[in-house]
Structure 1
């Protein structure tokens, strides 16, 4: 059993399988997601965990070229 890094198996699988130029979107419940797109719901309660919390943790364990954030997220 893992005790460090990304513990969620599905998230770990996605970031481990990403290649150059692949994209990962971290969003809240209001984001429109097209049918057929792989999703992982990790919500525990309303706004828990927050998008900034998730991004902060992902950046500790995953190299990224660029982060794009909505203005609403930047203000929180």
Structure 2
């Protein structure tokens, strides 16, 4: 048995396949999801699981070298949450962020309903 704090088997399996420069998206419950990337749906009801809960777990279990937010999130709590985890995101428009979704390896859908609560996490390496 694998020793990990992540209990969701599909999520753990998807994360184990990631490599340097791959991207993981934490998505709010309203973000349109493209065909292609692996989608791990953690949304239970509106607000659960939250953006913050998922970011907290992923930040402890991934090497993140960069992050990207929609410029529309510059004035909100999403930027503050990312900063609290040491992420200093680059910004693109929300439309550009949606255009990047098909390139993601994994999209984790949350129950978050805060506007623009989406982040692209760019994987790094541990060495």
* TM-score (ref. length: structure 2): 0.51
Stretches of structure 1 lacking an aligned partner (at least 5 in a row): none
Secondary structure, aligned partner of 1:46: coil
What is the CA distance between 1:68 and its match in structure 2? 2.5
Q: Greater share of strand residues, 1 or 2?
A: 2
Stretches of structure 2 lacking an aligned partner (at least 5 in a row): 82-127
* TM-score (ref. length: structure 1): 0.80
* 1:1-76 equivalence runs, <5 A: 4-70=4-70, 71=73, 72=76, 73-74=78-79
4+ runs deviating over 4 angstroms = 1-4
Q: Which has the higher contact order (CA 8 A, sep 6+)?
A: 2
Please provide the CA RMSD for this pair: 2.1
Q: Number of aligned residue pairs: give it.
A: 76
